Amino acid sequence: MTILQNLVDLLGLKAVLLTAFVFVPVERLFALHKGQKVLRKALLNDLVFLFVNGWLVRSALAVTFVVAMAIFSLILPAGIGPAVQSQPLWLQAAEVILIADIGQYLAHRAFHAVPFLWKFHAVHHSIEELDWVAAYRVHPLDQIATKAASLLPVFILGYSEAAIAIYYMIFQWHALLLHANVRLTVGPLKWIVASPQFHHWHHANERKAYDKNFAAQLPLLDLLGGTLHLPGNTFPEQYGVDKPLPQNYFRQLVRPFMPLPKSRASEATPAPAEENS
Ligand SMILES: [Zn+2]
Ligand SMILES: [Zn+2]
């Protein structure tokens, strides 16, 4: 195997190229913001997130899961796993989607509500031009905590690897679609299936849309939680936070650890509750 082949495998370039092969034409055909270029302003920054974050997150999650599973195996009754796996695969997969999205919803809501956590999550909300690559711009600590909240319960309950794999494949492609620059709504399924319209409103830099649409797959959770914002078939005009973050991977990584001067402390935080509708 050549050095180039090793490098391609190491970076997961084949998977990235396949994904680009799907999303670049789809974004051209169904463009929401037609003036947005493929080679947009912060693309390089987001490509660094795409290629570097995966390693960091996978390594940290592996350690977290081994420790957590060892602890929970001592606490939980041994019969839970076999009972869960005795269900049909399709039912297990559906349950995994529901349980994982409840974990995602709660973690995501906490990242918006707690100022210390928001400093990490603001990195994701610093995106000003949404497309499938922008989906990767997530601070690694945000990603580790959110993935642990969504996946740990399904591992602890003992769902089969096949059911978790089905969930994860759907989640990965769905997450990219939610951020894609496409004008796509899902009509009467809007409370069942998260659409690009649903998640684009989550990124809107508009007061009425702050702290809304936290779910990754099931908008029903936002409906139940009182956090749904889906006005007709409209899409937001502007994304991001009021005062932009530096569009640089390393500065975005370290910025949450740095104290902000009091007068600037609100620059990356959502609007106060009374301004939200
Ligand atoms: Zn968010
Ligand atoms: Zn997003």
Segment 74-85, tens digit of pLDDT? 888 888 889 999
Q: CA distances (Å), 53 to each of 46, 58, 199, 253, 266, in order? A: 10, 8, 21, 10, 27
For 109, phi then psi, to 5°, come to -65, -40
- Buried b / exposed e across 38-69, counting CB within 10 Å, b at 16+? eebebbebbebbbeebbeebeebbeebbeeee
Q: What is the percent of the chain with per-residue pLDDT over 90, rounded to a whole number? A: 64
Closest by CA to 239, choosing from 146, 137, 171, is 137
Q: From ligand 1's centre to the CA of 38, what distance in Å?
A: 24
Q: How confident is the model at residue 9 (pLDDT cuts 50, 70, 90)?
A: low
Which ligand approaches the C-alpha of residue 121 most closely?
A: 1
Work out the average pLDDT over 19-39: 91
Q: Which two tokens stand for residue 177?
A: 């679609």
Rounded distance between C-alpha atoms, residue 42 and residue 104, angstroms: 26
79-92: burial string, b at 16+ Cβ within 10 Å, e else: eebeebbeeeeeeb
CA of 1 to the centre of ligand 1 (A): 42
Cα–ligand 1 centroid distance for 214 (angstroms):
6
Q: Where are the domains of the chain?
A: 41-275
Q: In this predicted structure, what is the pLDDT of residue 30?
A: 93
The phi, psi pair for 14, rounded to 5°, reads: -60, -45
Give how far Cα 233 sits from Cα of 34, 85, 183, 230, Å.
17, 40, 9, 8
- Per-residue pLDDT tens digits for 172-216: 999 999 999 999 889 889 999 999 999 999 999 999 999 999 999
Q: Tell how far the Cα of 108 is from the centroid of ligand 1, in angstroms.
A: 6
Mean pLDDT along residues 230-240: 93
Residue 40 has pLDDT above 80, yes or no: yes
Nearest ligand to the CA atom of 120: 1
Mean pLDDT of the chain: 88
Distance 137 CA to ligand 2 centre (A): 8
How far apart, in whole angstroms, are the C-alpha atoms of residue 117 and residue 125? 13
pTM of the model: 0.88
